């Protein structure tokens, strides 16, 4: 029977558990956090992007879980943690560079000027509300993705892919 999962060829035909074990051997040090992302498609896209960059973990912060359908089953291949309290998440993440990707704050600096550290956690917020101000006060850095058209931002799922790629470009590709 043909394996129709969205997997690279060398992983086709393997069980989900074996795929995860193989990916675990080469995990990147990047971690992703999602807070107040209300649209399941966006949360699923972020999880799918995290899988694509072989992130170590995804942290979902808040009281709302996400509908895994949007992740296209990629959530089976990485570790997902749920946190109801941001401060407990921060305690768990001590020693990592916590970088919020936001576009609605005066303190934001351009993503293109960021020099990433290997041990980074990128935080993404909801489309309309973004990341709460009290959380932005506790992160190490706040970056925005530069825009060149008429809109001031891209969809959060797209933003996650751009930010993860920039981290990977600097850390994994050494460019």
More confident residue, 7 or 105: 7
- Residue 13 Ramachandran class (φ > 0 left, ψ -120 to 50 alpha, else beta): left
The pLDDT of residue 41 is 80
Task: Give me the torsion for CA of 11, 13, 19, 23, rounded to 10°.
Answer: -10
Distance linking the first and last C-alpha atoms of the chain: 41
More confident residue, 41 or 23: 23
71: pLDDT strictly greater than 60: no
Task: Give me the torsion for CA of 153, 159, 164, 170, rounded to 10°.
Answer: -20
The pLDDT of residue 107 is 84
User: Using 50, 70 and 90 to split pLDDT, how confident is the model at 69?
Assistant: low
- Fold adopted by 9-171: Alpha/beta knot (3.40.1280)
Tokens of 109: 């600096």
Q: What residue spans define the domains of the chain?
A: 9-171
66: pLDDT strictly greater than 90: no
Q: Which tens digit of pLDDT belongs to each residue from 117-163?
A: 999 999 999 888 889 999 999 999 999 999 999 988 899 999 999 99
List beta partners, residue 124: 34, 101
User: Using 50, 70 and 90 to split pLDDT, how confident is the model at 74?
Assistant: confident
Q: Say what the pTM is.
A: 0.93
Residue with tokens 């949360």: 43
Task: Report the relative pairing of strands 141-144 and 97-101 from DSSP bridges.
Answer: parallel
């Amino acid at each position: 029977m043909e394996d129709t999962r969205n997997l690279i060829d060398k992983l086709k035909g393997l069980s989900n558990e074996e795929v995860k074990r193989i990916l675990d051997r080469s995990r990147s040090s990047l971690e992703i956090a999602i807070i107040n992302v209300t649209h399941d498609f966006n949360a699923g896209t972020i999880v799918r992007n995290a899988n694509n960059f072989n992130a170590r973990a995804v942290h979902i912060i808040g009281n709302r879980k996400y509908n895994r359908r949007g992740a296209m089953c990629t959530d089976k291949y990485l570790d997902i943690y749920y946190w109801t309290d941001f401060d407990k998440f921060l305690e768990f993440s001590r020693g990592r560079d916590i970088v919020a990707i936001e576009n609605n704050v005066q303190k934001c600096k351009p993503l293109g000027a960021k020099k990433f550290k290997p041990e980074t956690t990128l935080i993404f917020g909801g489309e309309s509300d973004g990341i709460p101000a009290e959380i932005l006060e506790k992160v190490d850095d706040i970056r925005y993705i530069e825009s060149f058209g008429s809109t001031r931002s891209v969809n959060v799922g797209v933003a996650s892919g751009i930010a993860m790629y920039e981290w990977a470009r600097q850390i994994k590709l050494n460019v």
